[in-house]
Amino acid sequence: MAYESYRPLEKGGSDGVAVVALEGLTAAEVAERVAAGQTNDVPDRASRSVREIVRGNVFTRINAILGVLLIIVLATGSVIDGMFGLLIIANSGIGIIQEIRAKRTLDKLAIVSQAKPVIRRDGVAVAMAPREVVLDDIIELGAGDQIVVDGVVVESMSLDVDESLLTGEADPVEKDVGAQVLSGSFVSSGSGSYRAAKVGSEAYAAKLAEEASKFTLVHSELRSGIDQILRFITYLMIPAGLLIIYNQLFSSGESVGPALSGMVAALVPMVPEGLVLMTSIAFAVGVVRLGQRQCLVQELPAIEGLARVDVVCADKTGTLTESGMRLSELRCAVTEDTEACRAALAAMAASDPRPNASVLAIEEAFPDDPGWGEATAVAPFSSATKWSGQSYGPHGNWVLGAPDVLLDEGSDMARQADELGASGLRVLLLGSCDVAVDDDRAPGAIAPRALVILEQRVRPDARDTLEYFASQNVTVKVISGDNAVSVGAVAASLGLPGGDRPVDARDLPSDRQTLADTLEVATTFGRVRPDQKREMVGALQSRGHTVAMTGDGVNDVLALKDADIGVSMGSGSPATRAVAQIVLLDNKFATLPYVVAEGRRVIGNIERVSNLFLTKTVYSVLLAFLVGMSGVLSQVFGFDPVPYPFLPRHVTIAAWFTIGIPAFILSLAPNNERARSGFVPRVMRLAVPSGVIIGVTTFISYLLVYAGPEQTETQKVQAGTSALITLIMIALWVLAVVARPYVWWKLLLIFCSAGGYLILFALPFTREFFKLDPTNVAATASAVVCGLVGVVLVEIGWWISGRLHGEHRRLFEPPEDLPGEH
């Protein structure tokens, strides 16, 4: 887009030449643009509206299937058998409530974390929300600021803009007055201001914000696996459903009402109605829980992704150490030079428009302005050069930066700086140079004047966090732009393995293979350039690692973008928050273990409940096939067909205490198992054999007591009750297997579930209501024997599966592995 396409903001000067109003718009001019709709009023988040949430949770494929079956049952006049219709209300209601709660939490947190551009109006600079920007506003820029709308630069002081998020080009682009800047890029160094030329939906930022902050369950291994399973089940339901319809309506000879009830009873349990519901609930509750810990999850699968992480790359400053610093000592090369050094530091700190943590500490120590006036030349700090500088005419040219960059190696001052850095202190060199700091030859010849020694406070919770990751077999790599020795001192003080052997990134190999070899053995790296951080993430990923990158500075953006999971501190630059999937609004690295634990809870629990739902689907499909094939074979061999053994109310109560209530509790329970790939095969290894065992033994149990097509109504109820007893016994044992390893509350859940069925079968009212009759001792004994056989087969299958696939099986949770112990 050509610069000329932007309409200039003009005001008549004294000589008739149009000039840009650098003092900003007046209140009247702002009002004119608001009235004309020339505002940046775009939604803060692209979350679904309440109407969309309701529609998305009500009009689902599963609800449609259950709705049709409910209409069929109600048409027969049996309201009781339509109880499964409550699943539609449960599916929709719980999903709507949880998503609305999560939406409100996310929207509130997004407002808290929102970057506020500094807008100049009537000559006064004020931080405002992005939606308050209007066309032609003058917006100030400093290092780390994100450009929120498209515009044209009107002031530039060595302004460099990183457009890598837009173009993929890692090198910063110098922006002089008149240059175009696009929303979505950010300032890497320097300062300046620009005029808003495109706002609202016309600005590229609107599209970026919509994609970055969308509340949606986007692609993840967990949901992809569930979708794959559901598609497979749909294919199975079609032939099974056709067979059962044929058997009930044509082969069994039953009247239309009972035939339709049997058909619905066979089809309803095939639908894993609660699986998607439980997945959505687990994700949504996870987001709400993390929101309460001041953790903003911008993409829900980030919870799952972080649970799969096995390497965390952490920046030192702001992550392991607190971002604030204080001056420990000013060590001058010549004692008599102390006042001049103090004056230079005070002048440099006072005139820095956007001081970093080091400059703030210097300003706090030397608050008195020496009166040197405005700097005649400025060189902003750059992570590439590792120094900044200011020239003050007759007061000289001063630079402040890394001693190992500005000092000659082997000098006495360089040796002192190394010794101080080895003790964990941050050391800067104050020097004077022979050329202006904006000269092409800068910094030129440097005369070292003083070592500025700063202290970084290690976060009190950093050690516990590192120990947690170590206990979970997650490797932590400390990657910092600071001096390698200083970084190593901090890492070693926190007990990080290999922290006492830091690697200077300037000595790292350039080829990825060798770099990956180094990263496998070393844990602590200093003097890492932004492009190197990105390369290190890629090298780790090339070895099959799932990498999380934490950071808060502009130099972390490229690595955050490429990492599997990007984690930004809330106080970090707007650019880092824009590309990160997770933002720690409380700036605490110690929050990360809770995110990992939440992800593991979600993945582990969904895998548990998937076993329950899919076991039900397998045995329901198999029962339908067996009953349907009996109708087909009866036409060939002339024997009596077998009707479907259950009423719709039977399959409803069968799921209450074996799946429904236990699945809900298990989906929200603590779970600290490390996430693993291969979700679908693992689930099917238990669900398929268990479902086959339940389906076959239930069918056999029914055949043993089935009295033929001439059976009385009592005999029919007793036969159905016997089959139901067998099914419930084995399904409860599947629940017991899925709940392993046991802790006290899981055992209580299993006993309560069994107790619930004992009450249903014992009370006269419930027996009458649900048409249960266990009074035939022979039939009930036969059912119990079939159930015990199925229980033994499920148990044997579980142990054999573990042995075949190398999975460690255990019945009880060791005390040291209980959730919350780490």
Q: Please provide residue 427's backbone torsions phi and psi, each rounded to the nearest 5 degrees.
A: -120, 130
Say if CB 102 and CB 288 are below 8 A apart: yes
Q: What's residue 104's pLDDT?
A: 67
Q: What is the DSSP string of 52-101?
A: HHHHHHHS-HHHHHHHHHHHHHHHTT-SGGGGGGHHHHHHHHHHHHHHHH
Both tokens assigned to 583: 């933002």
Of the chain, the percentage scoring pLDDT greater than 70 comes to: 79
Q: What's residue 78's pLDDT?
A: 64
Q: What's residue 140's pLDDT?
A: 92
Nearest of 705, 687, 688 to residue 786 by alpha carbon: 705
Q: What's residue 736's pLDDT?
A: 93
The rounded mean pLDDT for the chain is 79
Q: What's residue 817's pLDDT?
A: 44
Has residue 508 got a pLDDT over 50? yes
Q: What is the DSSP letter of 298?
A: S
- Model confidence pLDDT, tens digit, residues 667-708: 777 776 766 777 788 888 888 999 999 999 999 999 999 887
Q: What's residue 14's pLDDT?
A: 36
Mean pLDDT throughout 49-56?
A: 78
Has residue 4 got a pLDDT over 50? no
Determine the Cα–Cα distance for residues 528 and 483; give it in Å rounded to an integer.
Answer: 9
Higher model confidence: residue 694 or residue 108?
694
Both tokens assigned to 491: 């890492």
Higher model confidence: residue 439 or residue 642?
439
Give the residue ranges of DSSP H helices in 336-461.
Answer: 338-350, 357-365, 403-406, 412-422
Q: What's residue 153's pLDDT?
A: 94
Determine the Cα–Cα distance for residues 717 and 646; give it in Å rounded to an integer.
Answer: 9
Least confident residue range of 569-573, 761-765, 784-788: 569-573
Q: CA separation (Å) from 277 to 54, 205, 608, 817?
A: 14, 34, 14, 29
Mean pLDDT throughout 452-478?
A: 86
Has residue 212 got a pLDDT over 60? no
Q: What's residue 273's pLDDT?
A: 64
- Model confidence pLDDT, tens digit, residues 168-208: 455 678 888 899 998 877 887 788 999 999 887 776 655 54
* Burial zone of 249 (CB within 10 Å; 0-12 exposed, 13-18 middle, 19+ buried): middle
Higher model confidence: residue 386 or residue 34?
34
Determine the Cα–Cα distance for residues 472 and 464; give it in Å rounded to an integer.
Answer: 12
Q: CA separation (Å) from 691 to 76, 229, 280, 618, 683?
A: 30, 15, 24, 5, 12
Least confident residue range of 212-221, 228-237, 427-436: 212-221
Determine the Cα–Cα distance for residues 172 and 191; give it in Å rounded to an integer.
Answer: 13
Mean pLDDT throughout 725-753?
A: 92
Of the chain, the percentage scoring pLDDT greater than 90 comes to: 21
Give the residue ranges of DSSP H helices in 481-553.
Answer: 484-493, 512-521, 530-542
- Model confidence pLDDT, tens digit, residues 609-624: 888 888 888 888 888 8
Higher model confidence: residue 116 or residue 383?
116
Has residue 635 got a pLDDT over 70? no
pLDDT band at 67 (very low <50, low <70, confident <90, very high): confident
- Model confidence pLDDT, tens digit, residues 149-171: 889 999 988 788 877 656 545 56
Mean pLDDT throughout 361-372?
A: 89
Determine the Cα–Cα distance for residues 725 and 620; give it in Å rounded to an integer.
Answer: 15
- Model confidence pLDDT, tens digit, residues 276-304: 667 767 777 777 788 778 887 766 667 77
Mean pLDDT throughout 400-419?
A: 89
Q: What's residue 546's pLDDT?
A: 87
pLDDT band at 341 (very low <50, low <70, confident <90, very high): very high
- Model confidence pLDDT, tens digit, residues 225-238: 777 776 777 777 77
Q: What's residue 423's pLDDT?
A: 73
Annotated catalytic residue: which of 315, 352, 552, 773?
315
Mean pLDDT throughout 431-459?
A: 88
Has residue 562 got a pLDDT over 80? yes
Which of 54-63, 159-168, 808-817 reaches the highest mean pLDDT?
54-63
Which of 72-76, 376-380, 693-697 reaches the highest mean pLDDT?
693-697
Higher model confidence: residue 447 or residue 572?
447
Has residue 85 got a pLDDT over 60? yes
Q: What's residue 18's pLDDT?
A: 34
Q: What's residue 791's pLDDT?
A: 95
Has residue 8 got a pLDDT over 60? no
Active site residue 315: yes
Q: What's residue 94's pLDDT?
A: 64
Q: What's residue 68's pLDDT?
A: 76
The neighbouring-strand residues paired with 18 are 12
Say if CB 771 and CB 682 are below 8 A apart: no
Q: What is the DSSP string of 429-484?
A: EEEEESS-TTSTTTT-SEEEEEEEEEEEEEPTTHHHHHHHHHHTT-EEEEE-SS-H
Q: What's residue 10's pLDDT?
A: 42
Mean pLDDT throughout 28-48?
A: 76
Least confident residue range of 178-192, 299-313, 756-770: 299-313
Q: What's residue 11's pLDDT?
A: 41
Determine the Cα–Cα distance for residues 317 and 480; give it in Å rounded to an integer.
Answer: 8
Q: What's residue 5's pLDDT?
A: 32
Has residue 89 got a pLDDT over 90? no
Least confident residue range of 62-66, 287-291, 362-366, 806-810: 62-66
Has residue 331 got a pLDDT over 80? yes
Mean pLDDT throughout 4-29?
A: 53
Domains, the chain, with CATH or none: 3-44+118-212 (2.70.150.10), 221-288+597-812 (1.20.1110.10), 296-320+459-585 (3.40.50.1000), 324-457 (3.40.1110.10)
Determine the Cα–Cα distance for residues 169 and 237; give it in Å rounded to an integer.
Answer: 51
Q: What's residue 400's pLDDT?
A: 93
